[in-house]
Amino acid sequence: MLRLLKKITITFFFTLFLSLISPLIYADVNFAERPDVQLFIDQMVKKHGFKKQQLVTLFSAVKIRPQVMRHINKPLEKEPWHTYQMLFVSEWRIEHGVEFWNKYQTALREAERIYGVPASIIVATIGIETKYGQKIGEYRVIDSLSNIAFSNTKRANFFRQELVQFLLLTRDEGLDPLKVMGSYAGAIGQPQFMPSSYRNYAVNFSRSGKTDLMNNEIDVIGSIANYYQKHGWIQNAPVAVQALIIGDRYNYLLRKDQINEPLTISELTKYGVVPKHKIDQDDLKVKVIELQNHYEKEYWLGFRNFDVIKRYNSSDLYAMAVYQLSSYITSLRNRLNNG
């Protein structure tokens, strides 16, 4: 017993020692001295005309952020649906979604008219991304992107391209790259656009002369609507409908590994998958979505617009949260307006 206690004590103090010296170790790391960063700098100079010394100075100021890597390796989208739903489809987000909609109803109505994207989907997206602008990120974007871009993660190349886009964005917009704040993944502003999305889909919807996704909600509304439209949003088309599984023929669909293939509703009916509510067009292609609740799974059919939401975030959980939050916000707003 004494030997075990001694071993536990040594392990505890060793762990404490590492936690205390880690910040000192990280503080001594100069990002600009890394060979892969130096190669990146040379490529930015050659391809995009940046000045080498400016980039060396910039990357010398980049800080190692272990918490960024912890988040990127274990995102919330890996949680079960019931946990994710509790976090994002909350009473607070529903009630404040109604307030946001009422406050910006003119801009939302205009965005619907121009882009064909429902106000409820735009509002829900902002609600899930940044709690209606209240939480736009606590990390320097240059730190987040650099930490992931020059790591050994599978998505390092994607984030390296986003780092390129971020540097181009800050140069184009006259922003200080050391002062732009965002998420642990480098997403920016109230809509949490990655730098490439910011450059390609942000619009000056307010007609103020300068696109501002940090502080201008009108620009945020128009930019999200533009993003969804450009990725194929179909106006007045469904997003998702809950489904029932009848009998055991669904297991045959799983065995054939067709669960991720788009099938028509009439085709799925043969496997015992039927929508809870009648859908007029049986020839629409859908995908079966499985969500894990506390004790059992629930099933949904996702239409084309569901996949469009997934272009924002590729998780089924994220797209379902946007859809459900949008539905609850609409219901509450209608009740209050009619009451």
Q: How many CB atoms lie within 10 A of CB 269?
A: 15
CA distances from 264 to 46, 74, 237, 269, 310 (A): 50, 34, 15, 9, 20
- In the three-class reduction of DSSP (H, G, I as helix; E, B as strand; rest coil), residue 74 is classed as coil
Check if the beta carbon of residue 228 is closer than 8 Å to that of residue 322: no
Using alpha carbons only, give the angle 258, 259, 264 rounded to the nearest 5 degrees. 80
Q: Measured between alpha carbons, how far is 275 from 228 in angstroms, rounded to an integer? A: 25
Alpha-helical segments (H) within 66-206: 66-73, 81-88, 91-103, 105-115, 119-130, 141-149, 156-173, 195-201
Burial class (CB in 10 A: 0-12, 13-18, 19+), 35: exposed
**What whole-number distance in Å separates Cα of residue 238 and Cα of residue 320?**
13
Radius of gyration of the chain (CA): 24
Q: Are 288 and 262 in contact (CB under 8 A)?
A: no
Amino acid letter for position 130? T
User: Catalytic one among 112, 129, 162, 217?
Assistant: 129
Distance, CA of 68 to CA of 54 (rounded, Å): 25
**Structure tokens that stand for 258 in this block:** 């067709």
Asked about 129 being catalytic, the answer comes back as yes
The two three-digit tokens of residue 148, written as one number: 């992931």
Catalytic site positions: 129
